[in-house]
């Protein structure tokens, strides 16, 4: 009978201490995340937009590329005239 | 100085075992339960479980408040003045046929023409996408090869899946050589491999797994360099930050969370939990300041790392199937999403609107990646094929600075 109860207490003991350690890790992680510096969305959005605009002309899927430079241009059949 | 040395703790623990249960309190047990190897963190008297839970709740609320304070505008509002994208037609230029079953993953070689793809049938194929020829084929010892990646040098490929491993195959110039003979097992997880990626060199591989962890490995020795714990369920995807922005990567999982990690320390730097279901795919915005995600909740979302919050949702009431795979165009203006309803939706990242819907695949789109020079993108599908697409004939297009001289007529 003591064996059974001791076993139960052993489980309580094990889960108690490991819960505590796990909880401490969670709190430490949250403390870290809460402390980071953030910028306003208006600023972040403006920067994202600026990056798009600055690189728009170098984006082949936005501008398209001429057939001669497109590596995947439709395969043309050569014929001798 | 505590008198409760490790030896004394063990003896006392033993004594408590022998005492009648009724004489014990859980309080006493907690003090003596610190095993020697766990005594690195002193448990202070006031740091009980309830206190820590309360602090955790306070911190979570504080995080939400801090993020909300900076939410002064929406991305699409900022982008109102930007010109729209006009008519958007894409054409399939190549169809790669040869897999015997669902294509699960693909990656481009840096040479912009080779592609590696992996399939449910256990085969990994290296293609020349220009000619559609198969250059190499490897049969893996398992089915469901869910992850594959090309090495930066172009001289090797990595792959894995239900074998719980990530293996590297050096690619030989001799087409007759048996690639399987040179296979090198690098990563070992305790559940399926969901994604893998080489870092800046052929020397290190980053993996994510159904066992809930990500890991960084040395290819030569197979040694585990760093492991990343924090997801509460299977990790389904990962993406490395563009090299200019430093040593971080983002992962997404079945716990609906996207985590950003420091590769050197193993710490989770930022965490985002706004999706309503599994995150199947994550991809960094080209500047490295944001990343997009695709989820089973039928939405794609954009998270800005400096604002530390979600800044856009790409969704429509008519889109009800999950997004399996996402990637940006070179400028970050376009977001391509492959979905389980067999289509690819193209989104205007800034305005939040859908620019185009691409048909063609006859089953779920499972994987999607932009080519290294941004001229095309490749999609893989459960219909056993891969398709390479680029812009069709441009009839007219609006640019922020006016018409451009370059362009296909």
Whether residue B252 is predicted with pLDDT greater than 50 in this model: the reply is yes
Of B313, B317, B307, B337, nearest to B325 by C-alpha is: B337
CA B63, B64, B69, B74 dihedral sign is positive
Nearest to A41 among B33, B73, B330 (CB): B73
Please name the residues between 5 and 24 in chain A that touch chain B, using a CB distance below 8 Å: 5-6, 9-10, 12-14, 16-17, 19-21, 23-24
pLDDT of residue B296: 98
Q: Which one of B33, B62, B81, B96 would you mutate to disrupt binding with A, by most A Cβ within 10 Å of its Cβ?
A: B33
The nearest CA of chain B is from the CA of A76 a distance in Å of: 12
Q: What is the mean pLDDT of chain A?
A: 76
Whether residue B32 is predicted with pLDDT greater than 60 in this model: the reply is no
Contacts of A10 in chain B (CB under 8 A): 17
The nearest CA of chain A is from the CA of B236 a distance in Å of: 22
Please name the residues between 38 and 77 in chain A that touch chain B, using a CB distance below 8 Å: 38-49, 51-67, 70-74
Q: What is the C-alpha to C-alpha distance for residues A33 and B69, in angstroms, rounded to an integer?
A: 16
Whether residue B268 is predicted with pLDDT greater than 80 in this model: the reply is yes
* Lowest-confidence pick of A11-25, B68-82, B86-100: A11-25
User: For residue B154, with 0-12 CB atoms within 10 Å meaning exposed, 13-18 middle and 19 or more buried, which class applies?
Assistant: middle
Question: Please, which pLDDT band fits residue B71 given cuts at 50, 70 and 90?
Answer: confident
The nearest CA of chain B is from the CA of A80 a distance in Å of: 22
Q: pLDDT tens-digit profile of B341-352?
A: 999 999 999 999
DSSP H or E stretch at residue B12: helix B6-18
Residue B146 backbone class (left: φ over 0; alpha: ψ -120 to 50; beta: rest): alpha
Of B253, B171, B166, nearest to B217 by C-alpha is: B166
Contacts of B285 in chain A (CB under 8 A): 48, 51
The nearest CA of chain A is from the CA of B63 a distance in Å of: 5
DSSP assignment letter at B55: H
CA B161, B163, B168, B171 dihedral sign is negative
> Residue length, chain B?
409
Whether residue B111 is predicted with pLDDT greater than 80 in this model: the reply is yes
Contacts of B59 in chain A (CB under 8 A): 27, 30-31, 33-34
Q: What is the C-alpha to C-alpha distance for residues B147 and B159, in angstroms, rounded to an integer?
A: 5
* Lowest-confidence pick of A19-28, A30-39, B35-44, B181-190: B35-44
More confident position, B80 or B345: B345
Q: For residue B293, give Cα distances in angstroms to B159, B285, B333.
A: 22, 10, 15
Q: What is the mean pLDDT of chain B?
A: 86
How many Cβ atoms sit within 10 Å of the Cβ of residue B26?
11
Coil, strand or helix at B9:
helix
Q: What is the C-alpha to C-alpha distance for residues B71 and B78, in angstroms, rounded to an integer?
A: 12
Residue of A nearest to B286 (CA): A51
Which residues neighbour B33 within 8 Å (Cβ) at sequence distance 6 or greater? A13, A14, A16, A17, B13
Q: DSSP string spanning B56-74?
A: HHHHHHHHHHHHHHT--S-
DSSP H or E stretch at residue B365: strand B365-370
The nearest CA of chain A is from the CA of B57 a distance in Å of: 9
B311/A74 touch (CB, cutoff 8 Å), yes or no: no
Coil, strand or helix at A12:
helix
Q: pLDDT tens-digit profile of B270-280?
A: 999 999 999 99
B373/A26 touch (CB, cutoff 8 Å), yes or no: no
Max CA distance (Å), chain B: 90
pLDDT of residue B173: 73
Percentage of chain B lying above the pLDDT 90 cut? 70
A49/B82 touch (CB, cutoff 8 Å), yes or no: yes
Contacts of A21 in chain B (CB under 8 A): 38, 41
User: For residue B232, with 0-12 CB atoms within 10 Å meaning exposed, 13-18 middle and 19 or more buried, which class applies?
Assistant: exposed
Residue of B nearest to A37 (CA): B306
Contacts of B378 in chain A (CB under 8 A): none
B72/A56 touch (CB, cutoff 8 Å), yes or no: no
- Are the beta carbons of B389 and A64 closer than 8 angstroms? no
Query: Considering the entire predicted model, what is its pTM?
Result: 0.81
* Lowest-confidence pick of A42-51, B3-12, B365-374: B3-12
Q: Which one of B34, B87, B333, B397 would you mutate to disrupt binding with A, by most A Cβ within 10 Å of its Cβ?
A: B333
Question: Please, which pLDDT band fits residue B395 given cuts at 50, 70 and 90?
Answer: very low
Work out the angle between the directed axes of helices A2-34 and B49-69 (0-180°, nearest 10): 20
pLDDT of residue B164: 96
Coil, strand or helix at B232:
coil
Q: What is the mean pLDDT of residues A34-57?
A: 93
User: For residue A46, with 0-12 CB atoms within 10 Å meaning exposed, 13-18 middle and 19 or more buried, which class applies?
Assistant: middle
- Are the beta carbons of B367 and B105 closer than 8 angstroms? yes
> Residue length, chain A?
81
Sheet architecture: strand order including B309-314: B279-284, B290-295, B300-304, B309-314
pLDDT of residue A34: 84
Q: What is the C-alpha to C-alpha distance for residues B114 and B171, in angstroms, rounded to an integer?
A: 12
Whether residue B405 is predicted with pLDDT greater than 70 in this model: the reply is no
pLDDT of residue B120: 96
Q: What is the C-alpha to C-alpha distance for residues A12 and B70, in angstroms, rounded to an integer?
A: 44
Which residues neighbour B172 within 8 Å (Cβ) at sequence distance 6 or greater? B136, B179, B182
B34/A19 touch (CB, cutoff 8 Å), yes or no: no
Whether residue B17 is predicted with pLDDT greater than 60 in this model: the reply is no
């Amino acid at each position: 009978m003591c064996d059974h109860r001791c076993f139960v207490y052993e489980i309580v003991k094990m889960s108690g201490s490991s819960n505590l350690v796990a909880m401490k890790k969670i709190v430490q992680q949250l403390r870290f995340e809460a402390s980071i510096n953030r910028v306003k969305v208006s600023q972040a959005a403006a920067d994202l937009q600026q990056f798009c605009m600055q690189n728009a002309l170098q984006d082949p899927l936005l501008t398209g590329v001429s057939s001669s430079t497109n590596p995947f241009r439709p395969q043309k059949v050569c014929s001798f005239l | 100085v505590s008198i409760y040395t490790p030896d004394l703790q063990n003896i006392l623990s033993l004594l408590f075992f022998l005492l009648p249960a009724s004489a014990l309190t859980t309080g006493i047990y907690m003090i003596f339960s610190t095993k020697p190897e766990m005594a690195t963190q002193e448990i202070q008297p006031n740091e009980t479980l309830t206190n820590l839970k309360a602090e955790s709740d306070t911190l979570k609320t504080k995080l939400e408040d801090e993020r909300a304070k900076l939410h002064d505008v929406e991305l699409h509002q900022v982008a109102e003045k930007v010109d729209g994208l006009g008519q958007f037609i894409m054409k399939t230029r190549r169809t790669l046929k040869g897999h015997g079953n669902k294509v699960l993953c693909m990656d481009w070689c840096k040479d912009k023409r080779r592609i590696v793809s992996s399939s449910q049938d256990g085969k990994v194929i290296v293609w020349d996408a220009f000619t559609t020829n198969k250059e190499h084929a490897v049969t893996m010892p398992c089915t469901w090869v869910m992850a594959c990646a090309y090495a930066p040098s172009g001289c090797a490929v990595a792959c894995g899946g239900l074998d719980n491993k990530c293996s590297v195959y050096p690619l030989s110039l001799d087409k007759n050589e048996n690639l399987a003979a040179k296979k090198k097992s690098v990563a070992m997880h305790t559940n399926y491999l969901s994604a893998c990626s080489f870092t800046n060199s052929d020397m290190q591989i980053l993996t994510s797994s159904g066992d809930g962890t990500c890991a960084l490995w040395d290819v030569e020795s197979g040694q585990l360099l760093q492991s990343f714990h924090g997801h509460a369920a299977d990790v389904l995807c990962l993406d490395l930050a563009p090299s200019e922005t430093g040593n971080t990567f983002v992962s997404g999982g079945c716990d609906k969370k996207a985590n950003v990690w420091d590769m050197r320390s193993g710490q989770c730097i930022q965490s985002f939990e706004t999706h309503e279901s599994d995150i199947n795919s994550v991809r960094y915005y080209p500047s490295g300041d944001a990343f997009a995600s695709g989820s089973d909740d039928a939405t794609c979302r954009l998270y800005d790392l400096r604002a530390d919050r979600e800044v856009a949702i790409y969704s429509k009431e008519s889109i009800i199937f999950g997004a399996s795979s996402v990637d940006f165009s070179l400028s970050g203006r376009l977001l391509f999403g492959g979905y389980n309803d067999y289509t690819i939706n193209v989104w205007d990242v800034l305005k939040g609107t859908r620019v185009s819907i691409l048909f063609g695949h006859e089953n779920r789109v499972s994987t999607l990646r932009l080519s290294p020079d941004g001229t095309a993108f490749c999609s893989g599908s459960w219909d056993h094929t891969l398709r390479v697409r680029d812009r069709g004939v441009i009839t007219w297009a609006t640019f922020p600075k006016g018409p451009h001289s370059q362009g296909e007529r």
